[in-house]
Amino acid sequence: RTFTQSCPIVSSLSLYLSRCPLCLQLFGCSAAAQVKTSRDTKGQFLSVNMAFSVGVMSAMYLTKGITGAHLNPAVPWGRLLPYCLSQVLGAYVASGLVYLVYYDAIMDFSGGVLTVYGPNETASIFATYPSEFLTLGRSFLDQVIGTAMLMLCILGLGEKRNTPAPEELIPPIVAVIVLGISMSMSANCGAAINPARDLGPRLFTLTAGWGTEVFKCYNYWFWVPLVAPLIGGVLGTFMYLIFIDWHLPDPEPPVEPSKLSTISDSVKKPTTAWENELELKVAHF
pLDDT at site 86: 81
Q: Are 227 and 6 in contact (CB under 8 A)?
A: no
C-alpha pair distances (Å), 96 with each of 18, 102, 140, 187, 285: 20, 10, 28, 25, 93
pTM over 0.75: yes
Q: Are 63 and 21 in contact (CB under 8 A)?
A: yes
- Average pLDDT, rounded, for the chain: 83
Q: What is the pLDDT of residues 166-209, one digit of tens each?
A: 989 999 999 999 999 999 999 999 999 988 889 999 999 999 99
Residue 211 φ/ψ, nearest 5 degrees:
80, -170
Q: What is the pLDDT of residues 82-95, one digit of tens each?
A: 777 888 888 999 99
N residues, the chain: 285
Element of type H or E holding 108: helix 103-110
pLDDT at site 88: 87
Q: Are 95 and 126 in contact (CB under 8 A)?
A: yes
Q: What is the pLDDT of residues 28-71, one digit of tens each?
A: 999 999 999 999 999 999 999 999 999 999 888 887 776 655 54
Q: What is the pLDDT of residues 32-41, one digit of tens each?
A: 999 999 999 9
pLDDT at site 272: 54
* Res. 3 pLDDT band, cuts 50 70 90: very low
Angle between helix 195-208 and 77-101 (nearest 10): 50
The CATH architecture of the domain made up of 8-247 is: Up-down Bundle (1.20)
Provide, rounded to the nearest whole percent, the portion of the chain with pLDDT above 70. Answer: 76
Q: Are 90 and 62 in contact (CB under 8 A)?
A: no
Q: How many beta carbons lie within 10 A of that of residue 184, not counting itself?
A: 12
* Res. 283 pLDDT band, cuts 50 70 90: very low
- Report how far Cα 212 is from the mean position of its chain's Cα atoms: 29
Q: What is the pLDDT of residues 79-130, one digit of tens each?
A: 667 777 888 888 999 999 999 999 999 999 999 999 999 999 999 999 999 9
Q: Which residues contact 150 (CB under 8 A, 6 or more apart)?
A: 177, 178, 181, 193, 232, 233, 236
